[in-house]
Amino acid sequence: MSRPFVLTTPIYYVNGLPHIGHTYSTVVADTLARYHRLAGEDVYFQTGVDEHGEKVQAAADAAGETPQAYTDRISGQWQATWDALNLSHDRFFRTTEAESKAAVQVMAQRVWDAGQIEFREYEGLYCVGCERFLTDRDMEGGLCKDHEKAPEPRREANYFFKMSEHFSWLAETLEENPDFLQPTRYRNEVLAMIREGSGLEDLCISRPKERLSWGVPLPFDEDYVCYVWFDALVNYLTGCGWPNEPGWEERWRECTHLIGKDILKPHGIYWPTMLHAAGLPLPKGIRVHGHWQIEDRKVSKSLGNLIDPLVMKERYGFSPFRYFMLREMSFGLDSSFAEDAMIERTNAHLANALGNLFSRTLNMTARYSDATVPTPGPTGDEEARVRQAAADAATAVDKHLRAFETHLALEALFRLVDAANRYVDHREPWKAAKDPEREEEVRTTLYTCCQALRAIALLLAPFLPDAAVTMLERLGIPDALDTVVLPADGERWDALLPGTPTTKGDALFPRLELIEDA
């Protein structure tokens, strides 16, 4: 059996519906999961929702529903959104599941038994949006940096995880294992938090039931519920089968968490120290991406500047939106979203470059080769360059996707598209076809273009699965993805046999026009 590839998205909070930030995380994970499946690996891809906490209870109260009814409804909408976007997760995890609650209690009990939880009184500035006490580092001008609202003073007796006792271990672990938390800037940020103090203290992990009943009861004190991060983070471990499923350790060793930079502290500090206190191993690693911005402000529910993925799908189809997210954002850095920029990139890359190559190749194949892949004549240096471009693209896509660099992988893939376009422009088969003595040349040109399109479609499948399926169907190999193994099959040439029937069809990527809000 192949080695597992295990990937989790953040556990999204259900006090609202998906926006571009959630969609980007999940689409990146979906792209990686699809690629590793096509590489023949044993993939487990988990996404899901965090359904406990004060914000959820407040949202339920505002909606006039019980918390359970509210979370059932909103979680259903999250699942329906991901299904509508054709995302390929293996499990949609809900923290209200019985399995999740039981695992949270096992984790809490283990840390309690290890003497790493104590009861104490605490006073500080609390952000309801973050659902935690803030430090000076978390604020700017007296406001929470993420939510741009003033925190409120609170004083309360609760249970605290002795997180600070594990900071030296965590710093040493990050120094010895630099690949655990990447990109490097985020690893350095976590190390700076630890070394500078940055207001890091022990972690409050409970709320009294008299104030908040919506949560998992602590196993050692049923008057308190386990709170937010100590609850939600356990989902990653539970999804891998902990604590009772045989073989969970192997899956967990290969598990990578994909997160946004706004939740770096919980995942980069709280979670590793929790695992260490419980005597559990760390996952394989954490990969951190930047934020989407509109007019230089982070996209978020609290700021009200959301981009709804279903609206984008309705306006333009999901492929352009998906392509823009994967191609525009350099992984780890922030990026800006604008519909006109998405349309410009779609028209340049998808419609003009790839779409035009696909259309004219199949149109000429229909016209000059009875809509079948032609038998080629002798090949030369030009054909060899296209073939090498396909091999280079397959190698580069593999390298960059394994490094979570979807933008660089797409750049590499479109170098093959550009090479094929240059080839057909130079060969001008539409002119050669006018000379009966150049028939063999025309067949060689169209055969080479068909082989390039097969390689492009296979390599495109993780990024734009619907478009790739359409390409393969029109190339006469609708079942190609059932047996492909990447990157080897992306490098393979001559796999599209002469005589294979092809279909012209409509434009693969119609040009887009900006649709203004009514």
Output the pLDDT for position 297: 61
Confidence band for 306, pLDDT divided at 50, 70 and 90: confident
Q: Is 19 a catalytic residue?
A: yes
CATH of 336-491, picked from 1.50.10.100, 3.20.20.70, 3.30.70.100, 1.10.730.10, is: 1.10.730.10
Q: State pLDDT tens for residues 85-139.
A: 999 999 999 999 999 999 999 999 999 999 999 999 888 888 877 777 787 778 8
The CATH classification number of 4-306 equals: 3.40.50.620
Tell me the β-bridge partners of 335: 292
Q: What is the pLDDT of residue 2?
A: 76
- pLDDT category at 480 given cuts 50, 70, 90 is very high
- Which of these is catalytic: 19, 162, 399, 407? 19
**Catalytic residue flag (residue 265):** no
Least reliable range by pLDDT among 192-201, 320-329, 340-349: 192-201
Per-residue model confidence as pLDDT tens digits over 416-427 = 999 999 999 999
- pLDDT of 198 > 90? The answer is no
Catalytic residue, candidates 166, 276, 291, 298: 298
pLDDT tens digits, one per residue of 365-399 = 999 999 999 999 999 999 999 999 999 999 999 99
- Active-site annotation holds for 130: yes
Claim: this prediction has a pTM higher than 0.75:
yes
Q: In the chain, where does the domain assigned CATH 1.10.730.10 lie?
A: 336-491
Find the catalytic residue in 145, 162, 209, 301: 301
Beta strand residue intervals within 128-205, DSSP E: 132-133, 139-140, 143-144, 152-161, 181-182, 203-204
CA 348-349-351 angle, 5° bins? 75
331-348 average pLDDT score: 95
Lowest mean pLDDT among 53-57, 67-71, 509-513: 53-57
- Selecting among 22, 265, 267, 313, the annotated active-site residue is 22
Q: Which position among 130, 240, 255, 450 bears the catalytic label?
A: 130
Residue 218 has pLDDT above 70, yes or no: yes
Distance (Å, whole) CA 48 – CA 99 = 14
Give catalytic status of residue 240 as yes or no: no
Question: Which pLDDT value is given to residue 130?
Answer: 76
State the catalytic residue, choosing from 36, 52, 55, 127.
127
Mark whether 127 is an active-site residue: yes
Q: State mean pLDDT over 182-205.
A: 90
Domain span(s) for CATH 3.40.50.620 in the chain: 4-306
Q: Would residue 255 show up in a list of annotated catalytic residues for this protein?
A: no
Share of the chain above pLDDT 70, in %: 97
Catalytic member of 144, 204, 226, 449: 144
Q: What is the mean pLDDT of the chain?
A: 94
Question: How far, in Å, are 99, 111, 240, 281, 284 from residue 244 at the CA level?
Answer: 10, 17, 10, 15, 20
